[in-house]
Amino acid sequence: MNKQTVLHDAIVGALAPTVLDVIDESGMHSVPKGAQTHFKVIVVSEAFAGRSLVARHRLVNEACASLIGKPGGVHALSIHAHTPAEWSARGGEVPASPPCLGGSKAG
């Protein structure tokens, strides 16, 4: 099973989202083709109601713990976590990811 599917299934199991998009952005970074190391996650769930942004990120990170920071796992996870009301108010949009600056290779 690929990492994108594992992340998707873990988030569904933990947060019962009404909207979930797990986007592999590895191709935007200096990693080997097919590395599956950088992901953008858009999660809309009632589980986020009344929680701070940090608490929301912790919930997503806990759900994805089997892959985050492990050898051969996910290196970077960009999280956009909203309640259904917030998602509706923003018109179902999230900002585009910035281009990779090359990490330690950036000058």
Q: Where are the domains of the chain?
A: 3-89
Cβ neighbours, 10 Å, residue 54: 8
* pLDDT, position 101: 67
3-89 maps to CATH 3.40.980.10:
no
* pLDDT, position 33: 78
Cβ neighbours, 10 Å, residue 81: 24
| Mean pLDDT (10-residue bins), the chain, 107 residues | 92 98 84 78 98 98 91 88 97 87 52
* pLDDT, position 35: 72
In DSSP notation, 47-79 reads: GGTT--HHHHHHHHHHHTTTTBTSTTSBSEEEE
d(CA 102, CA 69): 19
pTM, whole model, 2 decimals? Answer: 0.86
Structure tokens at 39: 């992901």
